[in-house]
C-alpha cells in the first residue's frame, strides 16, 4: 500500500527568548490510508511540531513532505492552503467552533469555502452529523452542547469534505474518559469506513490499545513505530 503522506529527514528548530531549541531531529515517516495512527510522547517532545509540518502549516528547516504525491514542503503558502482545504481535515482539543452557528451550520462551513452548492452542502452536513450520532442535536449552538458533543461536531466538520488525511491534535484532552473513548472510537471508524488516514497526536497512553499504529516520540526523534495488533515494531531515527 502506498502512503498518503511521506516525510523524509525532517528537522525543525525554534528560537524563543534567545534560546535555541531543536523541536525535530531527522524524522522520517510514512502515513497510510485506512490507518488510525497515534503519535504519542511527553509534552514538548515534538509531536505537535511534526503534525504542523506534515499538514503544511509549518515548514521544516530541513527535509521534505509529500502528500498524495504533491511536494507539500515546496509549495507556496497559498497552494498549501488550497491543498489543506481540499484534502485535509482538522480536529483540535479546543473544538474551535463558532459561538453563533448551529451544529449543522458549523459543519457546512468548509463546504461553503469550497463553493459547494448550498443544497448539497446542507445535505452533506446533515449526513456528517448523523455519522457521529448528532442527528437530533443539529439545531444546537455550542453553548447548548456538552464537551463530547462539541468535539463530535468538530469531527463532523472535519470529515464532511471526505478528506484524504484527518489530523487530530489532542482531541480527547478536554474530555472525560468516557467521552474520550467515544471520540477515539469515532476516529477509528472514520479510518476504517472511509479509508482516510487518521493521524492523532496525544500524550494519553490509554489510547495506545485502540490504535492501528503507534508512533512514539521523545526529544524530537521518532523512537518506535509499533502496530499493536500484529506486535510488529521498528525503531525510527
Kindly report, residue by residue over 48-100, the tens digit of the pLDDT.
899 999 999 999 999 999 988 889 888 999 999 999 988 999 998 788 899 99
Residue 237's CB is within 10 A of a number of other CB atoms, namely 11
Mean pLDDT confidence for 206-229? 88
pLDDT at 94: 81
Q: Does any domain span residue 133?
A: no
**Residue 111 clears pLDDT 90, i.e. is over it:** yes
SS3 234: strand
CA distances from 111 to 106, 124, 125 (A): 10, 9, 9
pLDDT at 230: 58
Q: Does any domain span residue 46?
A: yes
Q: Does any domain span residue 111?
A: no
CA distances from 179 to 35, 69, 104, 199 (A): 21, 36, 21, 19
**Region for 9 from its dihedrals, namely left if φ exceeds 0, alpha if ψ lies in -120 to 50, beta otherwise:** left
**Residue 232 clears pLDDT 70, i.e. is over it:** no
Q: Report whether 36 contacts 213 (CB < 8 A).
A: yes
Answering whether pTM is above 0.85, one says: yes
pLDDT greater at residue 41 or residue 207: 41
Please provide the average confidence, as pLDDT, over all residues in the chain.
89
Q: Does any domain span residue 160?
A: no
Confidence at 234, pLDDT banded by 50, 70, 90? low
Q: How far apart are CA 54 and CA 199, in angstroms?
A: 10
- In the chain, what percentage of residues exceed pLDDT 90? 64
Kindly report, residue by residue over 182-196, the tens digit of the pLDDT.
888 888 899 998 999
Q: Does any domain span residue 121?
A: no
**Residue 29 clears pLDDT 90, i.e. is over it:** yes
Q: Enumerate the H helices of 11-144 as residue ranges.
A: 47-54, 77-87, 103-113, 118-131
Q: Does any domain span residue 116?
A: no
pLDDT at 237: 44
Phi and psi of 21, rounded to 5°?
A: -125, 135
Mean pLDDT confidence for 8-24? 89
**Residue 28 clears pLDDT 80, i.e. is over it:** yes
CATH code (residue 203): 3.40.50.300
pLDDT at 236: 52
- Work out whether the CA dihedral 75, 79, 82, 86 comes out positive or negative: negative
Q: Does any domain span residue 171?
A: yes
**Residue 121 clears pLDDT 60, i.e. is over it:** yes
Q: Does any domain span residue 188?
A: yes
Q: Which three cell numbers stand for residue 209?
A: 490499545
How many domains does one find in the chain? 1
Q: Which three cell numbers stand for residue 127?
A: 449526513
Would you give the DSSP letter of residue 162?
-
Q: How far apart are CA 124 and CA 116, in angstroms?
A: 10
Domain containing 177 equals 5-96+166-234
Amino acid at each position: 500500500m502506498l502512503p498518503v503522506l511521506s516525510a523524509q529527514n525532517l528537522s525543525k528548530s525554534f528560537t524563543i527568548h534567545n534560546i535555541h531549541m531543536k523541536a525535530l531531529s531527522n524524522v522520517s515517516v510514512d502515513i497510510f490510508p485506512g490507518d488510525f495512527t497515534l503519535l504519542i510522547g511527553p509534552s514538548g517532545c515534538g509531536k505537535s511540531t511534526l503534525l504542523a509540518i506534515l499538514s503544511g502549516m509549518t515548514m521544516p528547516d530541513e527535509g521534505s513532505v509529500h502528500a498524495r504525491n504533491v511536494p507539500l514542503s515546496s509549495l507556496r503558502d497559498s497552494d498549501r492552503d488550497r491543498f489543506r482545504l481540499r484534502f485535509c481535515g482538522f480536529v483540535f482539543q479546543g473544538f474551535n467552533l463558532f459561538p453563533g452557528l448551529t451544529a449543522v451550520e458549523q459543519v457546512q462551513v468548509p463546504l461553503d469555502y469550497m463553493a459547494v452548492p448550498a443544497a448539497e452542502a446542507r445535505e452533506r452536513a446533515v449526513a456528517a452529523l448523523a455519522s457521529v450520532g448528532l442527528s437530533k442535536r443539529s439545531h444546537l449552538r455550542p453553548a447548548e452542547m456538552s464537551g463530547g458533543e462539541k468535539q463530535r461536531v468538530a469531527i463532523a466538520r472535519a470529515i464532511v469534505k471526505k478528506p484524504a488525511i484527518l489530523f487530530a491534535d489532542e482531541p480527547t484532552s478536554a474530555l472525560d474518559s468516557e467521552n474520550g473513548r467515544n471520540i477515539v472510537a469515532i476516529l477509528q471508524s472514520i479510518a476504517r469506513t472511509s479509508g482516510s488516514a487518521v493521524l492523532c497526536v496525544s500524550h494519553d497512553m490509554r489510547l495506545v490499545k485502540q490504535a492501528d499504529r503507534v508512533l512514539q516520540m521523545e526529544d524530537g526523534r521518532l523512537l518506535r513505530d509499533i502496530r499493536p495488533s500484529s506486535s510488529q515494531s521498528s525503531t525510527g531515527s
